[in-house]
Structure 1
Amino acid sequence: MLEMKYWRSILFVPATSDRFVESALRRRADVLQIDLEDSVAPDQKDLARGRVRMIASRFAQAGYGVAVRINRPWRLAVRDIEASVGQDVAVLTLPKVPDASHVRAISEILDACEAEQGLPSGHTRLIAMIEDPEGLANMDAIAAASPRLYGMIVGAEDLAASMRMAVSEDSLYIPNVMAVAACRRAGIAPIGFVGSVADFDDPDAFRSRIRRARALGFDAAFCIHPRQADIVNEAFLPTADEVDEARQLVAEFEAQVAQGRAACTFKGRMVDLPVVLQARQLLARHQAYCPPG
Structure 2
Amino acid sequence: MARAYRSVLYMPAANPRAMEKAQQLPADAIIFDLEDAVAPAAKIAAREQVVTALETNDYGSRLLILRINGLDTEWGSEDLRLCAGPLAGKIHAVLIPKVNGTADLDRVADIIPETPLWAMMETPLGMLNASEIATHPRLEGMVMGTNDLAKEIGSRFRADRLPMLAGLGLCLLAAKAHDRIILDGVFNAIQDEDGLRFECEQGRDMGFDGKTLIHPAQLAIANDSFAPTAEEIDLARRQIEGFEQALTEGKAVAVVDGKIVENLHVETARKTLDRAEAIAAMAG
- Residue identity over aligned pairs, in percent, reads 29
Quick one: which amino acid aligns to residue 69 of structure 1? R
2:24 alignment partner, SS class = coil
1:153 alignment partner, SS class = strand
CA distance in 1, matches of 2:177, 2:195: 30
Q: Which residue of 2 aligns with 1:256?
A: 246
Q: Which residue of 1 aligns with 2:268?
A: 278
- 2:140 counterpart of 1:140: no
Quick one: which amino acid aligns to residue 82 of structure 1? R
CA distance in 2, matches of 1:185, 1:281: 16
CA distance in 2, matches of 1:33, 1:59: 15
What is the CA deviation profile of residues 46-86 of structure 1, one whole-angstrom value per residue up to 9, with x for unaligned ones? 11112221112244455433211111143321111112342
From 54, 57, 65, the counterpart of 1:56:
54
- 2:207 counterpart of 1:217: yes
List gaps (5 residues or longer) in structure 1: 112-121
CA distance in 1, matches of 2:241, 2:202: 28
1:22-37 pair list within 5 angstroms: 22-37=20-35
Contact 1:60-1:66 at 8 Å conserved across structures = no
CA distance in 1, matches of 2:44, 2:146: 27
TM-score, length basis structure 1: 0.87
Q: Which residue of 2 aligns with 1:78?
A: 77
CA distance in 2, matches of 1:59, 1:236: 27
CA distance in 2, matches of 1:287, 1:87: 26
Q: Aligned-pair distance for 1:4?
A: 7.9
CA distance in 1, matches of 2:135, 2:53: 31
Quick one: which amino acid aligns to residue 227 of structure 1? A
CA distance in 2, matches of 1:92, 1:160: 24
- 2:270 counterpart of 1:242: no
- 2:234 counterpart of 1:267: no
CA distance in 2, matches of 1:109, 1:4: 29
From 79, 102, 108, the counterpart of 1:106:
108
What is the CA deviation profile of residues 14-69 of structure 1, one whole-angstrom value per residue up to 9, with x for unaligned ones? 11123322332331112222111111111111111122211122444554332111
Q: Which residue of 2 aligns with 1:115?
A: none
Q: Aligned-pair distance for 1:224?
A: 0.5
- 2:131 counterpart of 1:170: no
List gaps (5 residues or longer) in structure 2: none
Q: Which runs of 4+ in 1 moved over 6 A?
A: none
CA distance in 2, matches of 1:64, 1:241: 27
- How large is the RMSD of aligned CA atoms in angstroms? 2.1
Q: Which residue of 1 aligns with 2:64?
A: 66
CA distance in 1, matches of 2:81, 2:191: 36
CA distance in 2, matches of 1:33, 1:79: 18
Q: Which residue of 2 aligns with 1:44?
A: 42
Q: Which residue of 1 aligns with 2:183?
A: 191
Q: Which residue of 2 aligns with 1:116?
A: none
Q: Which deviates more, 279-288 or 15-24?
A: 15-24
Quick one: which amino acid aligns to residue 175 of structure 2? C
Q: Aligned-pair distance for 1:237?
A: 1.5
Q: Which deviates more, 267-276 or 219-228?
A: 267-276
1:98 alignment partner, SS class = coil
Quick one: which amino acid aligns to residue 171 of structure 2? A
CA distance in 2, matches of 1:282, 1:217: 12
Q: Which deviates more, 67-76 or 93-102?
A: 67-76
Contact 1:104-1:146 at 8 Å conserved across structures = no
TM-score, length basis structure 2: 0.90
1:34 alignment partner, SS class = strand
Q: Aligned-pair distance for 1:290?
A: 2.1
CA distance in 2, matches of 1:178, 1:53: 35
Quick one: which amino acid aligns to residue 101 of structure 2? D
1:224-235 pair list within 5 angstroms: 224-235=214-225
Equivalent pairs, count: 277
C-alpha change, 1:171 and 1:5, in structure 2 (3 Å) is same
